[in-house]
Structure 1
């Protein structure tokens, strides 16, 4: 099983790949437009962000909620063996194309690793372990192999197992919940809602009012929580919730979180 640290972004070991490889458009999340492959104007020569401590104030909230799941350091230090795109410009284009592929693989590794820690998912652990091993093996492949990889097909195979994991965990909530997978709940008033064991995969919860909601054992994989109010909500036992999702939401000291996640610094006390 991968080291948990390997699935967390280590910017000190990365060549600023998310600041170069990815595009962003001027919006509420980003102060300016930037095409893919062009370094952000705030990226310094040492691959560090020049406004890291002021990202939100400077209009780059999107940067504060992005998570590469450790793909940045994997590409920088393993795939390209420490050869950065500035000193080796011939690697730049390929490296920037490999990064999103690796990011998807590391995201899957994160979900598979979590699934294997869930006692309720024990019936599917025997299938999850080979899937994790195969995904980890793919992360060690050469740039050429990674670019030829059918990531969508691999993700689909893994997703079958993650869905089964979700069903087993959510069944423990003790009652059948409405399937809200992919639901448009933008701005919805769900204050105090009983969402224990709910399927909220890919749900649009942007700006939703979830204050005091019961989200125990809820499946939150891919749910868009930007601006969602989680004040006083109970997320203990929720599955496939990421730190990036929390960073995009609002909350307070009364919000209850899974032990593996931390309370964002910008949340109210």
Structure 2
């Protein structure tokens, strides 16, 4: 994972660089606050609010370099969008739940909220850079100010947020930007796929190799193990698309919309795969 400075003033506009995780400045909140069930992504069950059995005393992971072969692939694709260091160093002022055990329940609850807020900021940062509509940009900036303002306060202010309403407003704005961006490509995806290219479609395992997907609306689409090699996904909306084991060799995602590092970590690409400049090719990608 990338390391970033955790001390960005909360009242300054956050960039996507600020929204990258810095595990060295976090109290392992993803390894404690969150729970998971034994599955293909996790080798064991872990209740929420309990430390992972692989957590070391210095908040590092004892099997970090062996997570995939040890059955913890889910850990390798998780992204807190920098929420961990924000909660640890700003909202709880560098005092860990081990040093002050009584703060653990509140700290873990705040982390789950801030993680959602940081994810919203990630998408809004891109939306602001992709829209040409001054009114839409004003909406984006307003939402970013609300979120950053809440995180500039204290834990109680974060927990008091109306997340449902905020999610709805952010989603509406992201969809408007998506419509604008996709329209600029004068395309809605491959005509041969017809009605199947709709948000939330089931395209698991589909052979889409070399299909023209510029401007396609793939929001929430299931693309598990789909073959997207050599596809041009410029302007394609990938918000929430499930790219687990999707084959991205030679695909162009450099101008795809709402792509995250987590989606790349879950997929299978190679040295020919083009990705946005502020993301990086996962270490497990092989030609």
Map Cα deviations across residues 69-97 of structure 1 (whole Å, 9 max, x no partner).
Answer: 00001111111111110010000011111
Counting only pairs closer than 5 Å after superposition, residues 1-269 of structure 1 correspond to structure 2 as 1-118=13-130, 120=132, 124-177=136-189, 179-269=197-287
Map Cα deviations across residues 216-267 of structure 1 (whole Å, 9 max, x no partner).
Answer: 1101111111111111111121111001100000011111112221111111
Number of residue pairs the alignment of both structures matches: 269
Query: Hey, what's the Cα distance between the residues in 1 that align with 2:247 and 2:133?
Result: 29
- Structure 2, gaps ≥5 residues long: 1-12, 190-194
User: CA-atom RMSD, angstroms?
Assistant: 1.4
Say whether the 8 Å CA contact 2:67–2:73 is kept in structure 1: yes
The DSSP-based 3-state class of the residue aligned with 2:143 is helix
TM-score, normalised relative to structure 1: 0.96
Query: Hey, what's the Cα distance between the residues in 2 that align with 1:208 and 1:3?
Result: 32
TM-score, normalised relative to structure 2: 0.90
The DSSP-based 3-state class of the residue aligned with 1:117 is helix
The DSSP-based 3-state class of the residue aligned with 1:106 is helix
Query: Hey, what's the Cα distance between the residues in 2 that align with 1:39 and 1:87?
Result: 14
- Structure 1, gaps ≥5 residues long: none
Query: Hey, what's the Cα distance between the residues in 1 that align with 2:188 and 2:42?
Result: 40
